[in-house]
Structure 1
Amino acid sequence: LECVHCSSTVGTDCSGQVKSCTDDQTHCQTITSELIKDGRATRGVFKFCAAAEAQNWIHREELLTTFFQLEIQICNTDNCNQGPGQITPRDNTPNGVKCKQCYVEHSEVCDTEETTECTGDMNKCLFMSGLVCNDGTDYYVCAQRVCTNLASPEQHPFYFEVTAGNIQKIEITEGISDA
């Protein structure tokens, strides 16, 4: 199998070398990210060979005026990851789930009674703390509580950073009901 290998931080497409995958890499993969902060969107893309267990997947989280989405597309024919990455439009309809919401820099604590209404498929609450924030150069400690579509911490794209010790905690909980 041959796949396009490239990355870009300015848009959903890139062009690069076509590389032969190793025997345990049976898929081509395109990972597209979208970060919308205060109404401004930035997108990026990574394309490469992927292992057999890779699968199509969308990760979403939202906090105050920031929305983040990571979309993974898998295919298994030569150069099938050649075209632009895909960003599936989100559903902004409130889904009845509420989560505590906060964002604190230079702290691993983020306790609040303030809540937000989650939308679309984001029906769980995510708490994450540790070396999560980036100032463009380095990662630094912060904590946040957000709405997410993840069912378990292991699904988080940065879960490996927990075992590496960079992220202290990733916790997924049920939403808050008005009862």
Structure 2
Amino acid sequence: MLNGFARMGSLLLLFGVLLALVSTGYSITCTSCTGFNCTAGNITCADSNACSTLYSATVTKDGGNLASFARACTPKDLCNITKSMSYSNVKVKMAIQCCETDGCNPEFRELPPDNETANGVVCRSCRSESSDSCYTDETIECKGNENMCLLQTIKISGIGTGSMSIRGCATKSFCDTTSQSLSVDGINTKSDFFCTSGSVDLHCSLLICVFFSLALLKILS
């Protein structure tokens, strides 16, 4: 089993991905729930959406594992894909499968296979359970299709407050989402995904450079 921090991190990460799947509109009706006993009610979604089943597995190098499951509305261009990311000693794999009729529940899509072949990309690697800034000198050698360097931040405000950030290697499909916000029952959540391609020492996108410049100014002020 994953420890408490890893479990919370995995659940927040899943919620961050779910933010990318939620959209508003009045066309198709889909089941909306999390957990393997998925019995929650339906929601109406945008006409550009489909009903989706999202399945994820989080595995640590010491043998811990956590499976997560959810149903939601998903933009059609994010349907029927697999994605993965790795950071520190953790690997997260996800699969999204869709169908496009009212109330349909798509079957599980197979998770992406493991690929331990180094691809030449090196990324920063860290996780913060209580901050939206995550920066260390620790690096991770990317493998397989995980050829992007990812920074994901999650901020929660309103009735509940919290933040989390993760840095590591990710597939391009993980990076196709940029920023999403959601407000439910007085809880506001914002998830941002920043990605670069290439070596940690050679590439820094404008958004990430600005992000860390502001963080440095905050520390020095």
TM class, shorter-length: 0.5 to 0.7
Superposed CA offset, 1:50-82 (max 9, x none)? 565552222311111111122111234688645
1:142 and 2:171 correspond: no
Contact 2:123–2:199 (8 Å) recurs in 1: yes
Contact 2:38–2:70 (8 Å) recurs in 1: no
Give ranges in structure 1 of 5+ residues lacking alignment: 133-137
Give ranges in structure 2 of 5+ residues lacking alignment: 1-27, 203-221
SS in 1 for 2:181: helix
More strand by share: 1
Moved more, 142-151 or 47-56: 47-56
User: TM-score, normalization: structure 2?
Assistant: 0.56
Work out the CA distance in 2 between the residues paired with 1:19 and 1:165.
21
Task: Please point out which of 163, 173, 180 is paired with 1:160.
Answer: 180
Indicate the RMSD between aligned Cα atoms, in angstroms.
4.0
- Code of the residue aligned with 1:170 in structure 2: it is F
SS in 2 for 1:176: coil
Work out the CA distance in 2 between the residues paired with 1:99 and 1:61.
11
Contact 1:25–1:49 (8 Å) recurs in 2: no
Q: CA deviation at 1:127?
A: 1.6
1:5 and 2:27 correspond: no
- Code of the residue aligned with 2:58 in structure 1: it is L
- Code of the residue aligned with 1:142 in structure 2: it is M
Counterpart for residue 43 of structure 1: 67
Counterpart for residue 29 of structure 1: 52
Counterpart for residue 93 of structure 2: 69
- Code of the residue aligned with 1:149 in structure 2: it is T
Counterpart for residue 135 of structure 1: none
Work out the CA distance in 2 between the residues paired with 1:150 and 1:25.
22
Aligned positions, number = 167
